[in-house]
Every structure is written in C-alpha cells, then in structure tokens.
C-alpha cells in the first residue's frame, strides 16, 4: 500500500512537471517584432502597430495556456480519487502526456495561419489535437475506474458516475470543432475558445 501511494505520488510529480513545462514553453512562440535594417529606427508608433498586428499570436497563447491549465485541473481531479497505479495506467498517462507536450506545435500553427487562407488546415490540426487529448483523458479515466481497481477506497459511486458522464462531452465537443474546421477555421478556433472559457468559468463559479 505504501508502495502504491509512492508510485502515484511520483506519477503526479512527473505529470505536473510535463504540464508546467508545456504551459511555460508556449511563451517561446511569442517573438519580439524586429524591424529590418532598411526600416530605419522604429518609432513607438511602429512598435505598437506591429504588436497590435500580432493579435492572433496572443489569442493562440491564451487559448492554449487556458486549455493546458484546465487539463491540469482535470488531471488533478482524476488523481484525487485514484490511489493505486499499475504499468497500464503509467502508459495510458504517458499517452496523455505525449498529446499535451505536442500542444505548442498546433498552437504555433494557428498563431501563424489563423488569419490567412490556410486557416482551415491549421484549425483542423489544432482541434484534431484537442480531440485526441479528450480521447486520451477518457482512456485514462476508463482504465482507472474499470472495476474500481485503482480508486481510493471509499470514493462514492455517484462521484465517479458524474465524472464519467462529463468525459463523454469533451471528445464530442472537439469532434464538432474538428468537423467545423473544414468549413471555417475561425469558427473552429472560436468553438475551442468557447469550450475552454466555459470550463474555466465553470471552475470559477462552481466553488462559490
């Protein structure tokens, strides 16, 4: 039992590390605007203008930061009722972490192409990644709860059933965003943004 507790602790610590690094690396995509040698000394107006032009990079950063944060809170919630671990759980969690470390790549993709004619392809990759992450979360959750093997003794069945129901909506919502991306890149990203704001806001209000 002590062994199991220790193992869960180290999985949480490693996962937290990966979440923390993935969320912090996002800022590396925000590049300082530079002006070519032929531009002359840039004025304040020049710099403000270029900073304003980069609005889609800020949207992409905000979207992905909030998404990873919501995922972390989710992961947190799963581990609050999982106390045991086994090799299968380790590798399901690893699959989830792989998808999460990938996030900076589709983020950079939508930051670059969100306002261009290739927005559909970029949004498809981004929402497709969201779909994969939602499926990986469902996998981790189902593996952990199947037969109650890995759960903390005394967890109420009702709580598990409530969370299981929620895990059905995530993949569905991202599947919609993915389908929409082929019609409108902006609408697809808008759905992802609405989803994450909804989850974050629900987090903020539920506890009052």
Query: Which region among 5-13, 132-140, 163-171, 188-196 touches a second copy (by CB under 8 A)?
Result: 5-13
Say whether residue 13 binds a second copy (CB under 8 A).
Answer: yes
Binding mask of the shown chain, residues 103 to 132, with x at each position contacting a second copy by CB under 8 A: -xx--xx--xx--xxxxxxx--x-------
> Distances from the Cα of 135 to the Cαs of 54, 131, 184, 191, 208, in angstroms?
32, 6, 23, 18, 30
Phi, psi of 186 (to 5 degrees): -60, -40
What CA–CA distance (Å, rounded) separates 31 from 13? 30
Say whether residue 204 binds a second copy (CB under 8 A).
Answer: yes
Q: Locate tokens 């905000």: which residue?
A: 62
CA-based max dimension of the chain: 70
* Residues 87/4, Cβ–Cβ less than 8 Å: no
Q: Locate tokens 């959750």: which residue?
A: 141
Binding mask of the shown chain, residues 131 to 170, with x at each position contacting a second copy by CB under 8 A: ----------------------------------------
CB of 15 to a second copy, least distance (A): 8
Token pair belonging to 63 = 């979207």
* Segment 29 to 48, residues that bind a second copy, using CB under 8 A: 30, 32, 34, 41-44, 46-48
Q: Which of 38, 87, 147, 154 binds a second copy (CB under 8 A)?
A: 87
Say whether residue 5 binds a second copy (CB under 8 A).
Answer: no
Q: Which of 7, 56, 155, 163 binds a second copy (CB under 8 A)?
A: 7
């Amino acid at each position: 039992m002590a062994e199991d507790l220790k193992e869960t602790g180290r999985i949480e610590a490693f996962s937290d590390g990966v979440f923390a690094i993935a969320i912090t690396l996002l800022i590396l995509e925000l590049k300082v605007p530079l002006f070519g040698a032929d531009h002359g000394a840039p004025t304040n107006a020049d710099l403000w203008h270029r900073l304003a032009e980069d609005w889609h990079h800020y949207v992409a950063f905000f979207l992905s930061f909030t998404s990873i944060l919501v995922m972390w809170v989710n992961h947190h919630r799963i581990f609050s009722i999982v106390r045991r671990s086994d090799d299968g759980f380790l590798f399901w969690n690893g699959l989830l972490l792989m998808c999460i470390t990938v996030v900076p790549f589709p983020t950079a993709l939508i930051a670059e192409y969100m306002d261009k004619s290739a927005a559909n392809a970029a949004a498809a990759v981004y929402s497709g990644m969201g779909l994969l992450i939602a499926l990986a979360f469902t996998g981790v959750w189902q593996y952990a709860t199947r037969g109650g093997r890995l759960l903390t003794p005394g967890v109420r069945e009702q709580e598990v059933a409530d969370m299981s129901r929620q895990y059905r909506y995530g993949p569905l919502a991202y599947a919609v965003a993915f389908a929409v991306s082929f019609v409108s890149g902006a609408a697809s990203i808008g759905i992802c943004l609405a989803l994450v704001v909804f989850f974050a806001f629900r987090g903020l209000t539920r506890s009052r």
